Amino acid sequence: MNKPKKFFKSVKPEAVVLPSKLIKFPSISLAIPDISFSGVLVNPLFITTFACVFLFMAIGIVVSDMRDNIVKLEQVRSERIVLEKKVTEWSEIVKTYNKYRDGYYQLAILEHSLGNSQKAYEHLQKAMSIDPNFSKAGELMEKIAGK
């Protein structure tokens, strides 16, 4: 009876040739243990389902936050439009009654609310020139100047 021939392939480590040296890499192998978890956590269907549910929840949260931010933005814009209309109304009143210190004070408050500190300061100066003892205007002037 003929015995089958055994074929062995000898594996030699690859050699990297550098200009001056020949470096041989050692043949080191690491044994990675086969770890298997029994149960639901390793099931690919469970992992995929969990990932999809997590993504849909994250998308839902982001959409909800965006909707809330859009609502807040619309509220701020509508409040700004109302303030700008009031500024226009008080400007007309002050043009008609140019010695009306409270009109200039109201304009200063409205301009300060809109973020126009320079205009608010100018209106307060006009109010103070009409009535130097106007304490509310002086307090607001200090508040604006303190920023």
Residue spans of the domains in the chain: they are 47-146
What's the confidence (pLDDT) of residue 68? 96
The structural architecture, per CATH, of the domain 47-146 is Alpha Horseshoe (1.25)
Torsion region of 137: left, alpha or beta (phi above 0 gives left; psi -120 to 50 gives alpha): alpha
Pull the structure tokens for residue 126: 């006009």
C-alpha 81 chain-centroid distance? 26
Band of pLDDT at residue 110, cut at 50, 70 and 90: very high
Tell me: the pLDDT tens digits for 44-73?
788 889 999 999 999 999 999 999 999 999
Distance CA 134, CA 102 (A): 9
Residues pairing with 16 in the sheet: 23
